[in-house]
Structures are given as structure tokens and as C-alpha cells.
Amino acid sequence: MPKKAQLLVFTDLDGTLLDHDTYAWEPARPALQRLAALRIPVILNSSKTLAEQARIRAELGLPYPLAAENGQVLAVPADYFAGAGGDGPLLHEILGLPYAEITATAAALRARHGFRFRGFSELGDAQVAELCGFPVADAQRARQRLGTEPLLWQDDEDALMRFRALAAERGLQVVRGGRFVHLSGPADKGSVLRSLVSRYRAAWPDARQQTVALGDSDNDLPMLQCADYPIVIPHRHGQLLTVPDRPDARTAPAPGPAGWNLAMLSLLDELGYGQD
């Protein structure tokens, strides 16, 4: 029988592994436990900041790399790819553009063209906490930006299209997330997936890597499009993301972590990954 591939699971958080409203992950516990028993890496790949995801990573007991701010930031435990495991401190690098450059560009475009939005850099911790529905301590972590500026977009769709075009002229991209519009450099969730896969291949050249990606929003499309097994998590109110050029994309049977759990367990069964 051929040797099984080294499976790498890349997952979004909000609306995917975390419930969109309560931020609970517990419905995904059975699949997470099975993945842990199989030593299959679960790599967080979210629009959340490094500070936010480091806490979630610790809570879930995931000793693996993670990607923050829509692929703009990559964090890897010290000596992880030298075989040291994932207990070392997270060392990060910015794959996109510095935060100060991004916020300056956003302010300049608004001043010149009259766009209506407010960025995280202009909001206080209490305002972010109210918008996102979580405690002030979590808002403080959410505002520790390194490579993206979330914008509370208060203009229409035509204005957003103009803003996107002007940002692109300056080497920036605009991606709609679950709650905010994100302004960032050229990296994305797909480029960071490819970067990490290359590092796994270099570290373990005898293994055959295969990737799973789970997400629910437009900012997840780059990783869904380049994964071996793309899985779309439906929204609670019925909206369903379409993955261009990937007719093989699967749809989880339920929204949020419950759907994540069922889809992941089903795929593991299909691929023959038992618990022994």
C-alpha cells in the first residue's frame, strides 16, 4: 500500500473554525482531537492578528506555524523546521508591507477622494470590542496590527471598487472579510500556504505533502484555490462561497465549527486516516 501523504490542514477562523457570533470552537473538538492523535498539523490562516491567534493556538494546543492578517504575517516556532517541535517561541516575518505604510496610504486616498470609512488605527479598544462583540482585552490584541488595516467601510460598492483600483495602483490590495474590508500588501492566504508547503517539503523531503483548506469568505479564496482539498464552510444565513476553477471544492454540511468538524472527519475517513 502506498505511504500516506503528510496532510497539512490550513483553516480560517471566524465563521469557519470559530462560530461567527460566539467565537466558540468546541463543536470541532472531535475532529481536532483526531487530527492531534494523527499528528496532522492544523495551521491557522486567518485575518486575525498574530497576538489574537497566538492565544487561540495555545488554547487549542496547536504546536504548529500560523499565518496572520490574511497571509501578510508568517509565524513559525523557533527551530520547528529543524525538527525541534512546536514548543519554541513564535518567530514572525512580514510578507507584505509595513503597517505604517498601509495606514498612511489609506488616509491619503480618503483625503483626496472623499471615501467614507474608519480604520482600526482610528478606533479605540472599546469601539473595536463593540463592533466585533468581544471583550476589550481581545480588542487590544486585534489592534496589534503588523501588515493589514481593517476598514469599517461606510461607503457604497461603487466607491469600494474605485478604492480598490486606486489601492492596486499603489501596490496594495483590498479584500472583503467577514466584518471588515482589509487593506494590505500583495501577500494573501494562498501565497503563505504555498510558502509553508515549500518549507515542509524542504524539511521533510521524503514525505509527500497534501493540503486541506477550510474557509467561508472571499479572503479565503486564494488558499482554497491552491489546496488539494478545498472545503467551503457555509454561512449561517445560507450564503455560499464559490471557488472559481475548482469544481472539486467541497461544501461542509453545516456552518461554523460544527460543519468544520463533520467535513474534516469525513475527509479523514475518505483518505484512510485512522486513529491508529
Q: Which residues are catalytic?
A: 12
DSSP labels, 228-261: SEEEEPPPTTS-----TT-TT-EE-SSSHHHHHH
What span, in angstroms and rounded, lies between the C-alpha atoms of 162 and 178? 21
| Cα distance between residue 139 and residue 132, in whole Å | 8
Helix locations, the chain, DSSP H: 29-37, 50-60, 99-113, 125-132, 136-142, 157-169, 189-203, 221-226, 256-271
Q: How far is CA 249 from CA 113, 238, 268, in A?
A: 39, 17, 16
- Sign of the torsion formed by the C-alpha atoms of 130, 131, 137 and 140: negative
Distances (CA, A) of 3 to 202, 207, 209, 271: 18, 9, 11, 12
Q: Are 210 and 229 in contact (CB under 8 A)?
A: yes
- The torsion defined by the Cα of 233, 162, 165 and 109, in degrees rounded to 10, comes to -110
Q: Which three cell numbers stand for residue 23?
A: 467565537
CB 255 within 8 A of CB 239: no
